[in-house]
Every structure is written in structure tokens, then in C-alpha cells.
Structure 1
């Protein structure tokens, strides 16, 4: 059966990587290739950056042997080859050293982190496409900081391209990040950013 026009990739992964390689640096870090489609992540605002920095500090305090790598490019080979740029990828210190290029293997990444941006594509990208892509890539935990609903959503137990466990907590509540992350995240500070 021939895939419909909507199901066909817009370009090959190789063409996408060549496009990223030739793009100006100001655009390069905004390009993603999810489910065969070229995506442009919106430029994050100051609150987005503050939330990512807060998460980075929480991870360093709770698990000093790990690092939350911001804007990490990951190969997420779902049913169609893909490339996603996570707002954060939690992995052991120096985990990505030695990997060639800006798109790293997701193997060994313990958690992918996304903070929603204030744009029209956030729903599809952060709540549908990325959880599916990260689960298919075998990343054990996906943490979504959802600014629209003022909650953190923890996806865990990836199997067959989906996360079987989804836990939602409002900003201000504590949420357990399951193994292999293995620590509690007190989200009280996020209430300040939501105001």
C-alpha cells in the first residue's frame, strides 16, 4: 500500500541534516525533523529559559553525577526517521562526549525534558509528537512542563512507542520522577513563573 501524501516524509533524514548543517547558526538550533516533517521550534521566551534553568539546577542538586544538557539534539527513529531537539536531556556527565555531530543517540538518556512554548504548535509537538518519539526511542522518562495547564506531566514506562504511565501534578505539588531518574521534584517555584 502506497503511503498517502500526508504520511510521506517531506525529505530524507540525510537531506534534513544537510539543511541543518548549511543553515545559519541562529536558525540551526530551532530545526527538528519529527514524523517525517520539518519543524521549527519557536524561539523560547524568558520564562521558558528560567524554567529550563530551574530544572537544570534541580537535577544537579538531586543527582550530581548527571547533567541536564539543554537544547540537546537527539536521533529519535520512530516509524519514520526523526531528529528532535529536547529542551533538556538528562544523562551521565560527559555522556555525549565522543558522539559526532549535533544529533546524538538517545541510548543512555534517562529523561527528556520539554517546556511548552507559547505558540500554536505546542499542543501537537510537545503533547503528541515528542512523547511518541521519545517513547519509541526508549527514553525511560519524559517530563513535560506544561505552561498552559500549569502542571508537570511525567511520562514513564515506554513500550511500543507510547508511555504506559502518565502522572500529572499541578505547579506547587511534588512529583516523583521514577527510576532511572529517581528523585522527587518539588514544583513550588514553578508557581512563581506561571504568574
Structure 2
């Protein structure tokens, strides 16, 4: 496990913190986000117009079933994962609202109950590999909304070795969302034009 953690970090704690600070201070153009991925600062667009209605449909359902005191949001905030030396700005997240009482532009990833990433050609590999591995150790539910393949995958039940459960459905079919949500997601609103 120690070797795996060291391999994931790739950077010293100080270098990782320095990179996160640089990302927090980066003034990205409107519609873009900056994330430290694989020791580099990656600037990518927020999901495009085609995804706006999908994001809204997903956010409404998740918000209605979120754990008490948690809110569903699509906003340009970074969540830190210090043990992995990473920080990500998910497309959509559900987090303990107490985390938003602090100053700054990044929050502790432990506040998350769910993250959803809408894939794009430029981010798909990170969403399916690096982020899956990092989220799979801590975040109860991870949704990958694959806009290119018109599918959504729910990962749940995190462990030190990653998620223990995975289910994929095509847009339009119901998808069971694990605890702490415990409901069937209606994916009909995720259809792309």
C-alpha cells in the first residue's frame, strides 16, 4: 500500500502543496477550470452547453436525495485529497455544506458524499483512471457521465483499494445510486441532443 501511495503522489508533499497553491491562484478564463493532474496544471473547459441540461437534471435528483446537511452543486471549487497529493474540481458534487463556511478556493475531499464527472475528449482518461483511483478510496459515490458513449457509471462502496461496486447503464435507463443516497437515478434527462 505504501508503494502504491508513493506512486500515486509522484510529488513530494511540499511540491504537491505548492502546485495546489498555484492552481488556486490561477485566473482561468470564464468557462474553464484548472486542476493539478499528474503533477501538471491542466486547464480544461467546464462541460459545454450540451451538458447544461444534463447537469441540471442530475443535480436536482441528487439534491432531493442528498444526506441531511449536504448540498448538490456544480461550481468551480477544488476538493483536496492530501493522502494522494491531488485536488480536483468535479463537474458536479454533493458535499457537507459546513465545508463552505471556510475561506479559500479549495476544500477537504472528506466533505464529499458524491462526485460526478462529465467526460470530454480532453478529460476522459483522467476521469476513468486517476480520479477513479483517488475518489475510490474516500468518496462514497462516484458517477462518470460518459458523454461520448451516452452511458453513466456509478461506483460506490470505497475502500483502501478502490470502489467495490460498479454499475453502468445507457442514458435513459434507471441507475441504482448507492448509500448514502439509496435511490434509482432517472437517466432520461441525461440524453444528449
TM tier relative to shorter chain: 0.7 to 0.9
Aligned match of 2:78:
73
In structure 2, the residue corresponding to 1:30 is in which secondary structure?
A: strand
Equivalent positions of 1:19-98 (< 5 A) are 19-26=22-29, 30-63=33-66, 65=68, 66-71=70-75, 72-79=77-84, 81-92=85-96, 94-98=97-101
Gaps of 5+ in 2: 4-8
- TM-score normalised per structure 1: 0.81
Give how far 1:48 is off. Answer: 2.1
1:144-190: CA deviation from partner (whole Å, max 9, x where unpaired): 11111111100111112421211001111101101112221111122
Q: Which runs of 4+ in 1 moved over 3 A?
A: 7-11, 61-66
Decide which of 15, 18, 21 is 2:18's aligned counterpart: 15
Q: CA RMSD in A?
A: 2.6
CA contact (8 A) 1:172 1:187 kept: yes
Structure with the bigger RCO (C-alpha within 8 Å, sep 6+) is 2
Equivalent positions of 1:145-184 (< 5 A) are 145-184=145-184
- TM-score normalised per structure 2: 0.82
How many matched pairs? 183
Query: What is the CA–CA distance in structure 1 between the aligned matches of 2:188 and 2:158, rounded to whole Å?
Result: 28
Aligned match of 1:185:
185
CA contact (8 A) 2:117 2:127 kept: yes
Gaps of 5+ in 1: 2-6
Cα gap change, 1:187/1:45 in structure 2, threshold over 3 Å: closer, same or farther?
Answer: same
